[in-house]
């Protein structure tokens, strides 16, 4: 990765964003439809207040209590109360809003930061994408894939 390359040279500017009020179901569909793993959450003024990624959605999924099933004389039986609890939790999970599951106060970078700086931030904070802010406004997003493409094909850009 050329040390002098800047984030602005590789970032994506057509960024999927979410609002804190969007339902998790709608947000999940948009992530899948756009084939992205995560996106910034912005408030009414366009400030980045969080990140929503598939990892946030999977953590929410693991908090569901699946129905209790047991085997009795070779037959598998499900406890009715366990199934009702699961259905109620599933309805709550689907109705949850983005602000309930997003990662707050995300690590960010600027368009004039070097790719080396962006890679360092991703590594230090264990994230795979960074919102790129110009002032307090979202200018784009840079992901590990963008850094890898710059690393293996620096002359293509």
Angle of helix 54-62 relative to helix 24-34, nearest 10 degrees, comes to 140
Residue 81 φ then ψ, to 5°: -65, -35
Q: What is the pLDDT of residue 91?
A: 60
The H-or-E segment that residue 55 falls in is: helix 54-62
End-to-end CA distance of the chain: 12
Looking at every residue in the chain, the average pLDDT score rounds to 82
Tell me which residue of 110, 144, 118, 127 sits closest to 53, measured CA to CA. 127
Is the pLDDT at 71 greater than 80, yes or no? no
The reported pLDDT for the residue numbered 151 is 85
Architecture of domain 7-152: Roll (3.10)
Condensed to tens digits (0 to 9), the pLDDT of residues 80-118 reads 555 566 565 566 566 689 998 899 999 999 999 999 999
Annotated domain spans of the chain: 7-152
What band does 38 get if pLDDT is binned at 50, 70 and 90? very high
Is the predicted pLDDT of residue 61 greater than 50, yes or no? no
């Amino acid at each position: 990765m050329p040390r002098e390359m800047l984030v602005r040279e590789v970032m994506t500017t057509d960024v999927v964003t979410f609002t804190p009020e969007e339902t998790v179901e709608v947000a999940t569909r948009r992530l899948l439809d756009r084939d992205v793993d995560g996106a910034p959450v912005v408030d009414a003024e366009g400030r980045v207040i969080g990140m929503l990624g598939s990892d946030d959605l999977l953590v929410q999924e693991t908090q569901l209590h699946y129905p209790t099933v047991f085997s009795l004389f070779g037959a598998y039986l499900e406890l009715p109360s366990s199934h009702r609890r699961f259905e109620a939790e599933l309805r709550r999970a689907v109705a949850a809003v983005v602000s309930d599951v997003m990662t707050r106060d995300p690590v960010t970078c600027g368009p004039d930061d070097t790719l080396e700086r962006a890679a360092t931030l991703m590594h230090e904070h264990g994230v795979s994408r960074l919102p790129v802010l110009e002032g307090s406004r979202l200018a784009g997003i840079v992901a590990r894939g963008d850094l890898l493409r710059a690393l293996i094909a620096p002359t293509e850009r």
